[in-house]
Amino acid sequence: MSKLIIQTTELDFYFKNFKALDKVNLNVPEGSIYGFLGPNGAGKTTTIRILLDLFHAEAGQVKLFGQDLSQNKVALLSKVGALIENPSIYKHLTGRQNLEVVRRMIGVPKSRINEVLKIVRLMDNADKKAKNYSLGMCQRLGLASALLGDPDLLILDEPTNGLDPSGIIEMRELIISLNKDHGKTIFLSSHILTEIEKMATDVAIIDQGKIMYEGKLDGLHSNTSKFLEIELSNVEKAIEIIKSLNYTVSEHSSKSITLPILEKADTAKINKALVDNNIDVYQLKSSEETLEAIFLNLTKKLDQ
Ligand code: ATP
């Protein structure tokens, strides 16, 4: 099993009497793009604030890079770059000058500024004032700033929020490249399923402060129901054959049968049995719950 870069255990957090997080367990593997998905108000930003030691959980533990955050704050957080919603940018300064302010604070070599400008593709606009930047450019400048200290882990809160379609694509490509080409582990929150689906290797779904699912993105698909619909010549006889193979028919009409299956091999097995028994099979159609349906089902609300 790969190393965990973030591990939270049973985090609880309250705003006065309101329980915003309820036993939140997260396990973020090294090298992953980990999508933290949930509708508005689910608890994503609160969790991120706890990971960055900006809020303190009433109960539970946060480990970063295998070590307890509360015991090693400075050392651990120096390996983390973060972008939380709107990055703080001095609008009257240029992009480069903004990075210089942060560079002096964290004490990294000057050469690092050009390196991060190149990574986020802002070299050509580096000497323009930030007040003339598009929202997408501001986000990329925020990301450049988060990258200055060459962190091993990037925590990005809704990084594509408010961007236009080309800004979204640019940010997405950048995140994937930071993971693949620069070896960063990326923890990224979003309320937009399709965004997470396009980037993430691993996912956690949070709703009303509770984790509803955590695991591989593929695992979310494979845990879900698949159905096989078969159009055929002799429904009654086919039902008998299918039952004799220990499958359960969930629906049938005068022309077709529908049944839950686990894998592709089931389709082949059923088809062969039907054909061997002289039943004409006209069509085999398998369907799967979409990720969107799974997400809505897990969070029980429409929120896009
Ligand atoms: P969004 O995408 O809308 O930011 P989120 O998943 O990041 O949503 P949080 O901002 O973590 O959600 O909020 C979790 C819950 O805590 C929400 O019900 C929110 O209304 C509540 N909450 C957040 N900040 C405060 C606060 N300062 N005082 C009281 N309640 C708060």
**DSSP track, 64-113:** ETTEEGGGSHHHHHTTEEEEESS----TTSBHHHHHHHHHHHHT--THHH
| Shortest-distance atom of ligand 1 to CA 209 | 14
Residue spans of the chain under pLDDT 70: 1, 221-225, 288-294, 297-304
Was domain 226-288 assigned CATH 2.60.40.420?
Answer: no
235 Cβ contact list (under 8 Å, min separation 6): 252, 253, 254, 255, 256, 257
Question: What is the model's pLDDT at position 226?
Answer: 75
For residue 131, the model assigns a pLDDT of 95
11, 45, 160: which to mutate for ligand 1, most atoms within 8 A of CB? Answer: 45
DSSP tag of 131: G
pLDDT for the residue numbered 288: 67
For residue 214, report the distance from its CA to the centre of ligand 1, in Å.
21
Per-residue pLDDT, 217: 80
Spatial neighbors of 74 by CB under 8 A, at least 6 apart, are none
112-165 pLDDT per residue, tens? 999 999 999 999 999 999 999 998 899 999 999 999 999 999 999 999 888 888
SS3 300: coil
Cα–Cα dist 273/269, whole Å: 6
| Cβ proximity of 6 and 51 under 8 Å | yes
* Residue-level pLDDT at 193: 83
List CB contacts of 257: < 8 A, sequence separation 6 or more. 229, 230, 232, 235, 238, 239, 242, 249, 251
Q: What is the reported pTM? A: 0.78
Domain-by-domain residue ranges, the chain? 4-218, 226-288
Compute the distance from residue 43 Cα to the ligand 1 centre, in Å: 6
The confidence score (pLDDT) of residue 263 equals 81
Pairwise CA distance, residues 220 & 123, whole Å = 40
Q: What is the DSSP string of 229-293?
A: EEEES-HHHHHHHHHHTT----EE-SSEEEEEESSHHHHHHHHHHHHHTT--EEEEEEEE--HHH
d(CA 29, CA 267): 35
Instruction: State the distance from the centre of ligand 1 to the C-alpha of 297, rounded, in angstroms.
Output: 22
Give the number of the atom of ligand 1 that is nearest the alpha carbon of residue 45. 7
Residues in contact with ligand 1 by the CB-under-6-Å rule are 15, 18, 20, 38, 40-46, 191
pLDDT of residue 166: 87
Query: Is domain 4-218 in CATH 3.40.50.300, yes or no?
Result: yes
State how far the Cα of 125 lies from the Cα of 117, in Å rounded to an integer: 9
H/E stretch holding 54 reads none
Amino acid at 16: K
Residue closest via CA to ligand 1's atom 18 equals 41
pLDDT at 303: 42
- Specify the residue with its C-alpha closest to ligand 1, atom 20: 41
Are the beta carbons of 6 and 35 closer than 8 angstroms?
no
> Which residue CA neighbors atom 11 of ligand 1 most closely?
43
Amino acid at 274: L
Q: Which two tokens stand for residue 294?
A: 């799974």
User: Are the beta carbons of 147 and 82 closer than 8 angstroms?
Assistant: no
The answer to whether 144 and 119 have CB atoms below 8 angstroms apart is yes
Q: Whose CA is nearest to atom 1 of ligand 1?
A: 40
Q: Which atom of ligand 1 is nearest to the CA of 157?
A: 7
| C-alpha torsion angle, residues 50, 55, 57, 58 (rounded to 10) | -170
β-sheet bridge partners, residue 63: 7, 68
Which of 15, 19, 86, 301 has most ligand 1 atoms within 8 Å of CB, for mutation? Answer: 15
The pLDDT value recorded for residue 39 is 86
